[in-house]
Amino acid sequence: MHTTTFSVRTRDRDEMIDITRSVQQAIGEAGVAGGAVTVYVPHTTAGVTINENADPDVIHDVLLALDQAVPWRQSFYQHGEGNSAAHVKSSIVGCQTTVPIVDGQMTLGTWQSIFFCEFDGPRTRRVIVTVAGQ
């Protein structure tokens, strides 16, 4: 098992950043031909997901749908820090994802990438990647 951590610097309050290359790099460093990789985000106002990487409108649409489902109206929430919407979005998206590894490569679909999801930026965030296999 091999674990590595890298940082992601976000620029906006809500943002999705493709981290697929960084995750694949961690797999290469681990020297694993087969197994699984888990990508974990240790933050309560961020997340990680897999989605389409070909059309940037998909990212726009996902963030828009989350904003409509979880509005930022601060008077709506009780949490005193004013970022309750970010906490809810993080819970909806989730803080980890796992992808099988075959022949040293993630088995993502043709149009899939792994995205770090920022919901309370801009910030510098950590991503923890654990590669298990042989």
In this predicted structure, what is the pLDDT of residue 23?
98
In this predicted structure, what is the pLDDT of residue 20?
98
d(CA 53, CA 115): 9
In this predicted structure, what is the pLDDT of residue 18?
98
Q: What CATH number is given to the structural domain containing 11?
A: 2.60.120.460
Domain total in the chain: 1
In this predicted structure, what is the pLDDT of residue 72?
84
d(CA 88, CA 40): 17
In DSSP notation, 8-51 reads: EE--SSSEEEE-HHHHHHHHHHHT-SEEEEEEE---TTEEEEEE
Determine the structural domain holding residue 29 and report its residue range.
Answer: 2-133
Rounded to two decimals, the pTM is 0.95
In this predicted structure, what is the pLDDT of residue 79?
81
Return per-residue pLDDT of the chain as tens, 134 residues: 999 999 999 999 999 999 999 999 999 999 999 999 999 999 999 999 999 999 999 999 999 999 999 998 777 777 867 789 999 999 999 999 999 999 999 999 999 999 999 999 999 999 999 999 98
